[in-house]
Amino acid sequence: ERKKSGRNGITIFDQQQKQQLSRRNYVAECLREVLRTDGLDVAFQAQVDLQTGRHLGFEALARWSHQQETISPAEFIPISDEFGLSADIDLQVLKKSLKRIRLLKDAGLDPGRVAVNLGTLTLRDTALPERVKDLLDKHGLNASDIEIEVTESVMIGRGHEKVKGNLLSLQRLGVSVALDDFGTGYASLTHLKDFCVDKIKIDRAFVSEIASDRSDEMIVKTIISLARSLNIRVVGEGIETEVQAKMLAGYGCHAGQGFRFHRPDVCLESIGRYLKGSVSPPTGGA
Ligand code: C2E
Ligand code: MG
Ligand code: MG
Ligand code: MG
């Protein structure tokens, strides 16, 4: 038995793989439990009108605190996909979001449209539109209270026809559809036409370097003008600085989301306070 890592490095690699594998199994196991007990949290992050600073809506993001640590959706969403658990996550986040919209409205506040991220497993289920409709009814909400965010990956591969049909049915109800992480996937531009999305979200990867990287700036500028000429709303994601907000606004980007405006927040009371204040200053200054 070789204990030393040695020159070939094979031992180390195996160890790492083993660790990754058991981490995945461990996460999936805990995830099953948290889903069973309805224990996921939901954070809301505001989207604002970049031209006026006005509040437009929120994105709902799954949050999971497990023992002392918080496990990021960037880690557990891919694992949940692999283990067939992602549809349960999506549904739990959707239900909790609807409940929260109801509570905010009951308090006399207007949260605007709340966007929920749905993965491929959820979107392939032909019962989805009906289920969404039932849940909206149950909470006394309208289709225009919510939005569905999908990534480019749901538009390709097995089941994409089902996904397309579902999205169309949801749109007929009045739910809007946003294309998330735009520019990072490998979907072609024809999907924009085929899938009739209402909104494009420019990925944070482009936004974060917009002021320092000339190509990113040009890519963002081009995405915005493409979206505008197709009559699609466009949102910049991951806006952290005033400079980024101003540049995007200057290129005609409709809306923005990011730490610059609002941090994802799980606390209903402070979301309520945010809405009452809704103070985000217009990007134009002041
Ligand atoms: P996403 O939908 O693109 O969500 C935006 C991510 O960017 C969120 O990460 C958010 O916390 C983060 N973010 C927002 N503003 C800023 C900023 O100014 N700077 C930086 N550095 N980050 C910012 P999060 O919450 O970790 O979510 C990661 C991804 O996990 C999401 O990306 C989404 O694809 C997925 N996800 C989250 N919740 C759900 C869910 O309920 N269902 C599904 N299917 N996917 C989800
Ligand atoms: Mg999203
Ligand atoms: Mg995104
Ligand atoms: Mg993302």
What tens digit of pLDDT does each residue of 134-157 get?
Answer: 999 999 999 999 999 999 888 888
Residue 22 CB contacts under 8 Å (≥ 6 apart), including other chains: none
Which residues fall inside 5 Å of ion ligand 2, going by CB? 117, 149, 180
Report whether residue 119 contacts ligand 1, using a CB cutoff of 6 Å: yes
Contact assessment for residue 178 and residue 115, using Cβ atoms and an 8 Å cutoff: yes
Return the structure tokens found at 195.
């899938």
Residue 176 CA to ligand 2 centre (angstroms) = 13
Q: Which helix (H) or strand (E) holds 71?
A: strand 69-71
pLDDT at 9: 58
Atom nearest to 201 CA in ligand 1: 3
CA of 167 to the centre of ligand 1 (A): 21
Q: Which residue in the block uniquely carries the two structure tokens 């909104």? A: 199
- Ligand showing the shortest atom-to-Cα distance for residue 73: 1
Q: Which ligand is nearest to the CA of 89?
A: 1
Q: Give CA–CA dist 58/116, Å, rounded.
A: 9
Tell me, using a 6 A CB cutoff, whether residue 183 lines ligand 1. Answer: no
Q: Which alpha helices (DSSP H) does 70-175 contain, by range?
A: 73-82, 86-106, 120-123, 128-138, 160-173
C-beta of 40 in contact with ligand 1 (< 6 A): no
d(CA 189, CA 219): 14
Total residue count of the chain as it appears in this document: 286
Q: What pLDDT score does 1 carry?
A: 41
The pLDDT assigned to 140 comes to: 98
ipTM score: 0.97
Residue of 42, 50, 61 to mutate, ligand 1, most atoms within 8 A of C-beta: 61
Predicted local confidence at residue 276, as pLDDT: 94
- 73 alpha carbon – ligand 4 mean position (Å): 9
The residue ranges of DSSP E strands in the chain, in sequence order, are: 41-49, 55-66, 69-71, 113-117, 146-151, 176-182, 199-202, 233-236, 255-257
Indicate which ligand has the atom closest to the C-alpha of 59. Answer: 2
CA pair distance 76, 72, nearest whole angstrom: 6
Which atom of ligand 1 is nearest to 122's Cα?
A: 44
The angle formed by the CA atoms of residues 42, 81 and 135, to the nearest 5 degrees, is: 45
pLDDT of residue 73: 97
Regarding the beta carbon of 77 and ligand 1, being less than 6 Å apart is answered yes
Instruction: Provide the token pair at 177.
Output: 């559809």
Ligand nearest, relative to CA of residue 74: 1
End-to-end CA distance of the chain: 69
Q: Are 57 and 257 in contact (CB under 8 A)?
A: no
Ligand 1 atom nearest to CA at 94: 41
User: Tokens at residue 268, please?
Assistant: 């209903």
pTM of this prediction exceeds 0.80: yes
- Distance (angstroms) between ligand 4 centre and the Cα of 90 equals 15
**Structure token pair of residue 121:** 């497993």
Rounded distance between C-alpha atoms, residue 30 and residue 43, angstroms: 20
Q: From residue 46, how far is each of 14, 143, 237, 252 by CA, in Å? A: 43, 19, 11, 19
Helices 73-82 & 10-36 angle (0-180, nearest 10): 90
Ligand 1 close to Cβ of residue 286 (< 6 A): no
CB 138 within 8 A of CB 128: no
Cα–Cα distance between 72 and 232 in angstroms, integer? 30
Packing angle between helix 10-36 and helix 86-106, nearest 10 degrees? Answer: 40
Q: Determine the pLDDT at residue 16.
A: 81
What averages of pLDDT result for each successive group of 10 residues across the chain (286 residues)? 52 76 92 96 98 97 92 96 96 98 98 97 96 98 98 87 96 97 79 88 96 96 94 97 98 98 97 84 45
Q: Indicate the helix (H) or strand (E) that contains 146.
A: strand 146-151
